[in-house]
A and B are shown apart, each in its own frame.
Chain A
Amino acid sequence: MKSNEELVKYFTDLLPHAQVSEGKQYVEIVVDLDKWHETAKTLAECELKFDFMVDITAVDYIPKFMIVCHLTSTTTRDFIVLKTYIEDRDNPTIDTLSDIWPTAEFQEREIYDLFGIRFNNHPDLRRLFLEDDYGYPLRKDFRDDINMIELKN
C-alpha cells in the first residue's frame, strides 16, 4: 500500500490529462467527461490494477452533476476516488463503465433511475426501483408536493 503522496506522484505521471489531488481521506482524480472511459480503463489495467469498483454514484451540484467512483485494488489495497462533471443538465450523458467492471451495470442503472443520467453503450438501461413516469427524486430540484415533507432550516 502506497502513501497518498506516492499515489499522487504515480497518477500525475500515469494520467497527464487529469487533475490529481491528495484529498482529505483518499487521493482524488478529476477528469474531463470525454476522458472518463479511457481513464477508467487505464486505472483498471495499470500496474496497481484497480480491479474492484466499490461504488459509483452521482451528486447533484446545481446545475452540474458530479459522478464519483470509488475504486480499490485487491492486490495492493490502495483506495482512490475518480470524479468527473456533467455540465449538460437537460440531457446528461456519460460513457458506461460496465464493460470494465460488471458491477457498474446495476449501480449505473440506479443512477439513471434516481438522477436521470443516461449511460452510453449500457447493455440494459432500465429504471431500477421506480416506475417509468416517476421523476428523478435525488435531483435537488425534484418536487413532490403530496409525498414530501420538507423541514425549513
Chain B
Amino acid sequence: MSEVIKNYIVRENEDYIVNMGPQHPSTHGVLRLELVLSGETVKQVVPHIGYIHRGIEKMCEYDTYKQIVHLTDRMDYLSAHINNEAVCLLVENALEIEVPERVKYIRVVLDELTRIASHQLWWSAYGMDLGALTAFFYGMRDREKILDIFEESFGSRLLHSFNTPGGLMHDVHPNFQKHAMEFVKYFRKKLPEYKQLLTDNVIFRNRTQGIGVMSRETAIAYGVTGPSGRGSGFSCDVRKIAPYGVYDQLEFEQILYEQGDSFARYMVRMKEMEQSLNIIEQAVDKITDGPFTAKVKPIIKLPEGEYYQRVETARGELGVYVVSDGKKFPYRVRFRSPNFSNLFVLNTIARGHLIADLVAISGSLDLVIPDIDR
C-alpha cells in the first residue's frame, strides 16, 4: 500500500488545462475530466462528476423495499438485473425467506446473460473508441439476441425490474430455456470473430498493450474491483470469495491476468464471456418446475438492524448497506457502486500517457456514469 504515492502536481504556467467532456463521446455519459497537459502528455486528471446525480440514496429513504428494487435499475443500467438481485438478496436474507430453487437458477441465467450483454456493449464501444467502427456492429448484432430473450420474458429490453424480494415478478416465457441455449450455441460460434477483429488486431494490440498499467497494490488501495481489478491480478470475484445464490454449486473459473495494462483488462472480459456461457449451460439444465416466487407480505418490514449484501455486477463489487428501524421505509440506504472506485484510479494510471491513450485507458475501465453519480 505504501507504494501508492500521492503527489499532486503543482500547475505551472506553461500547462494547458483542457476539459474532456461532459459531452465527449469517449466518456459514454456526462463525465468531465479536467486534464492538465504538458504538450500532449497528461500530467494530471481531475474527474468532475455529479451531472446526473439523482439522489437515489435519499429517494430510497421514502420508498418501500419493493420500490427500491426499481430504483437500482437506474444506477448501472447495463447490469440492471444484478443490481435488482442485490436488494432482493438483502431482504431475503434479512427475513430468512426461502427462495424456490427454480428462481435461483433463473436468476443465475439472467445474471450471466446480463453480464454478457454488458461486456458485448463494452466491447463494441471500446473498439469504436479506438477507431474500429466495424466492431460496434458485430457486438450490437449479438447483443440484440440477448435483448430479444429479455423482451420475450419481461416485455422490456434494458431496465426490466424482474426481480422482487422473494422471487420473480412473474414466470418466464415457456421458450426461455430453449432460447437461452440457442444463444449459447450461437455466441460460441461468434466469439472467434471477436478474436479476429480486435484481439488479434496489431493496431489494437499496440494501442492497448503496456498502456495504463495498474499494479495489484494500486488496484487494492483504490478499491478497483471487477474485470478491471482482475486484470491486475487482484482476486476480487464476489461470486467466488463470498458466493451468493447458487454460484457455489456451479463450476466456473475466476479469470486473472497479471499484466495490469489495458489489454489485460480487455482479455479478462473476453474470457469472462466464455465463463458466463459455461455457467448458463449448467444452470439452464437445472431450472426445475415450481413456483416462481415465495410467499412474501405485500409490505415488507425488516427487523431493526444493519444489513449488508455484496454481489458481483458486470463492473465489479456492488455493496448494498441498509439500516432499518423496523418501519416499512429503510432508515438509510447506501450503494457502494463499483464504478465510483474504478473512476478515481484514472489519475494514477493515466499520468504520463498521451491524450489518445487516455481514451484507451478510460475505455478499458468500462465506466457507466449514472452508477458513479447515483
> Which A residues lie at the B interface, using CB under 8 A?
23-26, 44, 51-55, 57, 59-60, 68, 70, 74, 77, 79, 81, 100-103, 105-107, 110, 114, 123-124, 128-130, 137-138, 150-151, 153
Contact = CB atoms under 8 A, between A and B. Distances in A.
A79 B242 CA distance: 10
Contacts of B49: 128-129
B321 A103 contact: no
A106 B346 CA distance: 13
B4 A24 contact: no
B50 to A, nearest CB: 3
Interface in B287-338: 305-308, 310, 317, 319, 321, 323, 327-329, 331-332, 334, 336
25 contacts: A23-B306, A24-B305, A25-B306, A25-B307, A25-B308, A51-B221, A54-B310, A55-B319, A55-B321, A74-B235, A77-B241, A81-B306, A101-B1, A102-B4, A102-B222, A103-B222, A106-B340, A106-B341, A123-B6, A129-B49, A129-B53, A129-B373, A138-B332, A151-B62, A153-B328
Given A24-B305, A150-B62, A153-B327, A51 B344 contact: no
A74 B234 contact: yes
B81 to A, nearest CB: 22
A59 B322 CA distance: 10
Nearest to B306: A24
A102 B331 contact: no
Contact of A130 (B50, B235, B307): B50
A136 to B, nearest CB: 11
Interface in B342-368: 344
A25 B96 CA distance: 13
Contact of B334 (A24, A26, A57, A81): A57
B190 to A, nearest CB: 35
B223 A52 contact: yes
A110 to B, nearest CB: 8
B6 A102 contact: yes
B198 interface: no
